[in-house]
Amino acid sequence: MYEILTLNKINKKIFEVLNEDFEVSENFENPDAILVRSFKMHDMQFGENLLAIARAGAGTNNIPITALTKKGVVVFNTPGANSNAVKELVVCGMIMAARNLVPACKWTETIKGCGTDVPALVEKGKGQFVGTELAGKTLGVIGLGAIGAKVAKVANALDMHVIGYDPYICESMKEDVLSYASITDNIEDIYKQSDFISLHTPLLDNTKGMICEKTISQMKDGVVIINAARGELVNNEDICKALNDRKVRTYVLDIPTAETLNCDNIIAIPHLGASTEESEENCAFMAASQIKEYLENGNIKNSVNFPQLSFDREPNTTRVTVAFNNIDDTKEEIIKIIEKSKPSIYKVNTNKNIGYIIAESKDGFAENIIDDLSENENVLLIRII
DSSP 259-298: HHHTSSSEEE--S-TT-SHHHHHHHHHHHHHHHHHHHHH-
Judged by phi (left if over 0) then psi (alpha if -120 to 50, else beta), residue 72 lies in left
H helix count then E strand count, the chain: 13, 16
* Region of 113 on the Ramachandran plot (φ > 0 left; ψ -120 to 50 alpha; else beta): left
Q: Which residues contact 350 (CB under 8 A, 6 or more apart)?
A: 307, 326, 331, 356
Residue 99 falls in the annotated catalytic set? no
Contact between 28 and 35 under an 8 Å Cβ cutoff? The reply is: no
For residue 138, give the nearest of 98, 85, 169 by alpha carbon. Answer: 98
Cα angle 204-210-213, degrees, rounded to a multiple of 5:
155
Cα dihedral 370, 373, 378, 382 sign: negative
DSSP three-state, residue 329:
coil
> If you ran DSSP here, which 8-state letter would residue 182 be given?
E
Q: Please tell me which residue in 37, 230, 249, 319 is annotated as part of the active site.
A: 230
Catalytic residue among 16, 133, 259, 277: 259
Q: Is residue 246 among the annotated active site residues?
A: no
Which among 99, 161, 271, 383 is annotated as catalytic? 271
339 labelled catalytic:
no
**By three-state DSSP, how is residue 142 classified?**
strand
Active-site positions read 230, 259, 271
